[in-house]
A and B are shown apart, each in its own frame.
Chain A
């Protein structure tokens, strides 16, 4: 393609980031650096019980051990190239207030409310999003959670992680680290040692959560890492749909985001977890951007439990993320639906792990990767069928689309089967956005930008359709903006 189409695709791939502004708010930021004192300081600032500090310290010692051993230190297998973060040069706690916790919305700084409003997340009582409860997290602290009281009437607990530690310590202590132990990996250990906040959600037995629950994460302070934990517990026969969104200001240096998400689904419970990830991806030369090293895992503990991960990944300089499901209960179901869009110099290595333990368990993986600019987009997925997983079934489909000729798409499927009754199917395709398709659109009077949007949206359609309705619209808008040559 020697022509304008190629140039256009390059322009598309060079589109700008819309959420790059920062909020000027007085912050309580601890000095840079990481040692045991920092771990203790964070715990003290959050006024944590002794058992939690002890847990953090165990994680800290484990992390120190990993960090001292260059072979174990970082995961080496991802298809990613980057300079390892300097952990001494990061701030591990920053709160947009002298207080570690807001008692009510009146205490929240106007600028902060404005920040979330500008991001499309109004927190004020009269402006709250209908049908969606939001927990808004800025840097290390949850700013506000909407609809908390309404949800409490049904016994649903939805609050910041810090609050849960204070108000529901027995639940936190029981489940925290039960799905992702701090020994799981390097970043999971780091998170366990220094995590500052996040969201907590508990759905009691038999309750169907009447609204979408959502956490919105934003990194604001320069040089600050964000380490949040999310814990979702769905008791027997309950249902919840959960959404996570994220953005960050444009900065020249890389910012570290190392989160942990744990989901526990008891028998007949269903958890739908959707992510729209839009961290700052860095500029077109690869300067700045968020390093997104995230461990997300759910366990279908009881029979007939179901966990679905749906994600639209458009941001981050580096994405390293494999939302997984452990299918322990018989007839439990795990699903992973993903659209990952990379442009500029972004690199994504993302996929899932489906671990079948129970009988008649079933998993579905559909991954769509779109790469533009000079980006690299990899799918990496593991399907593991254990010995006792009689009649387990998996279907995987990984499709990649290339915009232009300077980007890359890769697929790394791993399959381990220890039970002969398993049925595992894997399909993969890679296509270049077709000149024929583009020309067909042109010939009907549809211009280049609109044509690319149409074709890419068509490619992702089955995934976007899995998102909750309000967010499917958001997701499509985001994808359109990402595809635009220039953004106002």
Chain B
């Protein structure tokens, strides 16, 4: 859980961008559950701790839906680095997910 100690910004020590991600889901719908699993898996696998992932259930916080222009769910927003990126779906297509987040795989 060292990502919690790295607030939004730049990891000064490693000079690598920290990905600030926000995943919007609706309760425990099948898509949502899958999206959470897939996203977490991807983050662990490719971001190696340089990320901050917030999962928002918009059933509980419907105001987010309007603020973030949410229509399709699940929605993953890359808040940082800029520009903002939006991905929808259950994140099962890892290639598309990585491409969408512009994560280069070494």
- Same complex: no
Query: Which positions in A face B, CB cutoff 8 Å?
Result: none
Query: Which positions in B face A, CB cutoff 8 Å?
Result: none
